A and B are shown apart, each in its own frame.
Chain A
Amino acid sequence: SCDFAPSGSFSPFRRLPLPAKRKYMRSPLSPEMATQEVPLNETLAHLKTESETLKLKLEEERAKLHDVELHQVAEKVEGLGQFVMKTRRTLKGHGNKVLCMDWCKDKRRIVSSSQDGKVIVWDAFTTNKEHAVTMPCTWVMACAYAPSGCAVACGGLDNKCSVYPLSLDKNENLAAKKKSVAMHTNYLSACSFTNSDMQILTSSGDGTCALWDVESGQLLQSFHGHAADVLCLDLAPSETGNTFVSGGCDKKANVWDMRSGQCIQSFETHESDINSVRYYPSGDAFASGSDDATCRLYDLRADREVAIYSKESIIFGVSSVDFSLSGRLLFGGYNDYTINVWDVLKGTRVSILFGHENRVSTLRVSPDGTAFCTGSWDHTLRVWILMC
């Protein structure tokens, strides 16, 4: 059951046990700080000042090792030629704004969700609709394809994330086998399966992320640290596969340890809401897109922002970002209906794509990198390719 949190409480549902030793904020990695104590008569203002002082010190430390810019290192790399990308498929069928989409591992199927509550599974290659579900709520902001390709997850204003096994019988009502997995206290903004169909990671307008066991609906871990709505998340493609990044309305991008629930790295350089986060294919960095009209690249080993992708003529927010397979290109879907393609290494914009008639709300490169798909408030989805 999900109890309503008492007012003034930070955690919206099951409260995590706070670290036992709160008097001594000892960091195991820095023995010289072991003897520092937080005074017992803490006031809120005092805590806030301490937090801000530490943040400034952190920025100083990060700056010390920043000896070169990415575009400088990339000077020796050959520039990219002209990119002409065209729409190769247009998927029509949604009756309202398309809010989210995800690719199936088979590289041709996609799932998309819309403001009117409809979730559609398409074979984007043939443009045939294969399944359709009507959710009991509007604004289905999140949808994801299961790794097996046998189910989809979605949610939005219902504050839940539900899993629908994809039936072989086209006439069967998918809603009959629906499984409610996640429960938040505000809208679901994003969801993703982990390495299997058995676990789902969610982010919500209630300011938290959470990891769930699909079979039982049990909450496995919750992630607290954002000060406002969390809008996006992405799982790290790392060897040990235990981290993910989230972005929120507090302008922060946080990297989390899925096992412990701890925030292990935090970045706050954007000037507005972060709408989208996506890992660089090697897992050593991630990109973000924000309402401040910029995309940024954060390196996890350098522990800092290493590139900003912006142009004076681009003034509308970025809704969604993704990398090409090699990580050389970064695609951004924007609120001014366009897609900008960036050279990740040199920091320059290599192409601007027109076509959608309203905001681009979602953008994903296909699993084998042969194309990318965009969803828009103009009710359509488009699959784009490079025309040589």
Chain B
Amino acid sequence: MTINTMAKGGWQREQTICFRKMEKMIVAMQDPDMGMKLRNQRLLITVIPHAMTGHDIIIWLIHKYSVCEEEALHLGGMLVKYGYIYPLKEPRSLVLQPDESPYRFQTPYFWTSTRWPASELDYAIYLAKKNIRKQGELMEYEKERYSLLHKKINHTWDFVVMQAREQLRASKQRRKADRIVLECQEQAYWLINRPPPGVHNMLDVGLERQNNFNLRATLNSDFYKNEIEVHRRALGRNRVKSSICLEGFLKYSEQYQNHDPIMQGCLPSNPWISDDTAHWTMNTEMVPVPTRLRVERWSFSFMELLNDAMGRQEFMLYLEKEFSAENLYFWQACEEIRHGESSKIVEKVEEVYKNFLAPGAARWVNIDSKTMDKTLEGIKQPHRFVLDDAQMHIYFLMKKDSYPRYLKSDLYKNMLAKAIVPQETKKSVFPFMRRQRHSSPSPAQAVAQATEEEGRHKGAG
């Protein structure tokens, strides 16, 4: 429907932004004071004015944007790939060479953004001109496209040939330098708008985002009423001063720095570098003895402790000693309801009631009476979030009370003391020899094995 007209009539939003930015860069490069120094360039026997070398371009970019040479080469390369600068030597190859190769700025007439979209008619005229000039010796792909166009717009073919002849006649009257320049400019334009096979299509932006498609339909009164609601709610929310929030980032980064392998490396070695999976083996979900860094992390936040299966197991042990393990069991059961299948919600909620909430339940949890009443009322119509309030109450109870005491306990301190600090693997003497990279069982296989073993135990028992 409107999708195709968007592509033809409108302009690709993403490209517009980039093109404008590149054009701004190009204009800055041609600034009379701060821009590039242009000079005449000799091409065989002809002198082409207002040219620059690839090296010049890179130096200018390095100074203007304070970047390294590699980045300047890449950036300049983009300007060439998009046709804002074209090469005089080897004009078919839109590549920036960091040497004395000559380049020129493309005339705005031939900027892709100026003449969008490139028309079939113009392409036909271009190929016709080339065909006449080269007496039929076009490149293979150009020949194919030429004959395709001939079929497609056959009805205007006389016009095409006439235009081609006229343009060739006019160009013959130009100076040789101008002729060469015009040919290069036009060729650069078509290399981008009709790339040869095997060459990147620089104008490919992927899938069309039809976001303007339903604009009128979308921005109706319902939409604005929704927006107003969101804004009012936002105005009412409590905000924290920046100076307080931002300190939080500093603290977090500092606390986790030693745990960040990309920043500090990891022990005994990063598997991706050394091809040794020891680091992963030592940190699997359940290990006989965990690493020190892992146990340390349990003290960073309650969430860290609970997110680690071993941490959770240790915490459970501690709670059992304190006779408050029912809290963690309850929390886990609530999690299973929240994240489980819709079909199992009712039966799971019933289980939770029986085990944790019913008077005299085996693992009765101590929730304040207001929350308990609300929850008991709610579970008459069980849904996914019916236990949320109770779960949160118990979560914060554990977090504020049991968790800090756990961290001070002998159980935790002993765990920390006996935790492993792996030896750093010295980099191998022969870095060229690659160690064999071993496969590991896929998670699906691991699950299947575990199920099998469980089955065997059940069978045996």
Contact = CB atoms under 8 A, between A and B. Distances in A.
B253 A126 contact: no
Contacts of A109: 442-443
Interface string A305-336: 01000011101110000001111110000011
Nearest to A80: B263
25 contacts: A44-B220, A57-B231, A109-B442, A123-B439, A125-B272, A150-B444, A150-B447, A166-B443, A231-B209, A249-B211, A264-B233, A282-B252, A291-B14, A302-B240, A302-B246, A311-B65, A316-B18, A327-B249, A329-B263, A345-B253, A354-B70, A368-B280, A371-B272, A383-B272, A386-B262
Nearest to B251: A282
A25 B228 contact: yes
A129 interface: no
B305 to A, nearest CB: 11
A264 to B, nearest CB: 7
B207 A338 contact: no
Nearest to A28: B236
A293 B257 contact: no
A280 interface: yes
A302 B231 contact: no
Nearest to B224: A47
Interface size classification for chain B: 35 or more
Given A205-B209, A284-B248, A196 B270 contact: no
Contacts of B237: 29, 265, 303
Given A97-B206, A313-B75, A316-B18, A42 B339 contact: no
Determine which residue in B223, B272, B302 has the highest number of CB atoms from chain A within 10 A of its CB, and name it.
B272
A128 B338 CA distance: 36
Interface string A257-297: 00100111110000111000000111011000001110000
A365 B260 CA distance: 11
B211 to A, nearest CB: 3
Given A291-B13, A328-B263, A358 B200 contact: yes
Contacts of B209: 205, 228-229, 231, 249, 273
B261 A369 contact: yes
Contacts of B74: 336-338, 354
Interface of A: 7-10, 18-19, 22, 25, 27-30, 33, 38, 42, 44, 47-48, 50-51, 54-55, 57-58, 61-62, 65-70, 73-74, 77, 88-89, 97, 104-109, 123, 125-126, 128, 130, 139, 141, 148-150, 157, 165-168, 186-187, 194-196, 198-199, 205, 207, 213-216, 218, 220, 224-225, 227-229, 231, 237, 239-241, 248-250, 259, 262-266, 271-273, 280-282, 284-285, 291-293, 299, 301-304, 306, 311-313, 315-317, 324-329, 335-338, 344-345, 352, 354, 358, 365, 368-372, 377, 383, 385-388
B443 A327 contact: no
Contacts of A166: 442-444
Contacts of A262: 230, 233
Contacts of B11: none
Interface of B: 13-14, 17-18, 21-22, 25, 61, 65, 67, 70-71, 74-75, 78, 200, 206-207, 209-212, 214-215, 217-250, 252-257, 259-263, 265-266, 270-273, 277, 279-280, 283, 302-303, 335, 338-343, 384-385, 388, 392, 395, 399, 437-440, 442-448
A27 B341 contact: no
A240 B385 CA distance: 12
A303 B277 contact: no
A385 B272 contact: yes
B246 A73 contact: yes
Contacts of B343: 215-216
Nearest to A145: B443
Nearest to B439: A126
A243 B295 CA distance: 28
Determine which residue in B261, B265, B283 has the highest number of CB atoms from chain A within 10 A of its CB, and name it.
B261
Nearest to B22: A315
Nearest to B231: A54
B257 A47 contact: no
A299 B242 contact: yes
Contacts of B260: 324-326, 328, 369
Given A18-B222, A327-B252, A368-B261, 9 more contacts: A29-B237, A61-B235, A65-B240, A68-B242, A168-B444, A207-B214, A239-B399, A315-B25, A370-B270
Contacts of A292: 17
Nearest to B249: A345
Nearest to A387: B273
B297 to A, nearest CB: 11
A344 B71 contact: no
Contacts of A344: 249, 253
Nearest to B214: A207
Contacts of B235: 27, 30, 33, 54, 57-58, 61
B70 A220 contact: no
A96 to B, nearest CB: 11
B246 A282 contact: no
A155 B114 CA distance: 37
A313 B439 contact: no
Nearest to A86: B273
B240 A195 contact: no
B445 A306 contact: no
A265 B233 CA distance: 9
B9 to A, nearest CB: 18
Given A48-B224, A303-B237, A315-B18, A345 B250 contact: yes
A304 B263 CA distance: 28
Nearest to A124: B272
A10 B218 contact: yes
Contacts of A240: 392, 395
Contact of A325 (B259, B439, B445): B259
Contacts of B256: 281, 325-328
Nearest to A66: B242
